[in-house]
Amino acid sequence: MPRTDRRRPRTAPADGPGTRDRLLDTTAHVLSTRGFACTSLTEVARIAGLRPPAVYHYFASKDDLVAAALSAGQQLVRQRVAAAAAAAGPDVRRAVDAMVEAHLRVELDSSAYATAVTRNARHVPPAIAVQLGADSAAFHDVWREVLQRAASEGHLRLGLDARVARMLVVGALNWAAEWYTPRISVDSVVATAQQLVRAGLFQPPHPSGHP
């Protein structure tokens, strides 16, 4: 069988005009609104303007599709938060403020991917959860590093378990996707969350001179 492995012929990649991306977008949207339990391949395909079998040209299975969408969401959140932390400079309080804002904005503002991952990452069958482990760990690394820096510089409140505090803060931010409605401005959520997190995490700044 001489297979004419001359596939992948030429200019544009073999994919259709963004069909794959459209499927991912639709998946993220359905996941973020209906939740994993009520997300079906059939409905995703229908919304994307396709019949269910067409999905299998781009993804090996439903789990693959969902995992790809959630992974993209987790990476998006991590990138935004990491970028915000990096841009904030050496001041850890400023860094935490920036990370809180970045997390909330990407989660509440625009991206169905971000909402999809925060709402569904922990409610997904094991096969998918495993694939998300690395992405999730990378995201937590960003927070861990900043809080470790804060601890070593003596800014954290005494008696605060840094790991537990991190999980609580991330939890508060993640849970926002469950209750946020556009009737509340994102700005006010950001402002309140920043105040809460900063005051909760850090030693009160010394009003007078040195430590």
Partner DNA sequence: GTAATTTTTGAATCTAAGTTAGAGTCATTT
Partner DNA sequence: AAATGACTCTAACTTAGATTCAAAAATTAC
Q: Which residues bind a copy of itself (CB under 8 A)?
A: 35-38, 119-120, 122-125, 157, 159-161, 163-165, 167-176, 178-179, 184, 188-189, 191-193, 195-197, 199-201, 204
Binding of DNA at residue 21 (CB under 7 A)?
no
Q: How far is CA 73 from CA 29, 133, 189, 202, in A?
A: 11, 13, 21, 29
Tell me how far, at minimum, the Cβ of 72 lies from a copy of itself, in Å. Answer: 20
27-30 long-range Cβ contacts below 8 angstroms, 24+ apart: 27/65, 27/66, 27/68, 27/69, 27/116, 28/69, 28/72, 28/73, 28/111, 28/112, 28/113, 28/115, 28/116, 29/112, 29/116
- Region from 15-23, 129-137, 139-147, 187-195 binding DNA, contact rule CB under 7 A: 15-23
Q: How far apart are CA 1 and CA 24, in angstroms?
A: 36
Q: Which does 129 bind (CB under 5 to 8 A by kind): DNA, a copy of itself, none?
A: none
Q: Which does 42 bind (CB under 5 to 8 A by kind): a copy of itself, DNA, none?
A: DNA
Which residue reads 């922990």 in tokens? 122
Binding of DNA at residue 42 (CB under 7 A)?
yes
Q: How far apart are CA 50 and CA 27, in angstroms?
A: 13
> Which of 89, 87, 96, 78 lies closest to 151 in space, CA to CA?
96
Q: Which of residues 63-92 bind DNA (CB under 7 A)?
A: 63
Q: Which does 184 bind (CB under 5 to 8 A by kind): DNA, a copy of itself, none?
A: a copy of itself
Q: Which does 35 bind (CB under 5 to 8 A by kind): DNA, a copy of itself, none?
A: a copy of itself
Spatial CB neighbours of 88, under 8 Å, sequence gap ≥ 6: 94, 95, 97, 98, 99
- Region from 25-33, 58-66, 101-109, 117-125 binding DNA, contact rule CB under 7 A: 58-66
Binding of DNA at residue 8 (CB under 7 A)?
yes
Tell me how far, at minimum, the Cβ of 19 lies from a copy of itself, in Å. Answer: 27
- For residue 157, give the DSSP letter: P
Cβ atoms 52, 45 nearer than 8 A: yes
Q: Which does 123 bind (CB under 5 to 8 A by kind): DNA, a copy of itself, none?
A: a copy of itself
Residues that bind DNA (CB under 7 A): 4-17, 19, 39-43, 49-54, 56-58, 61-63
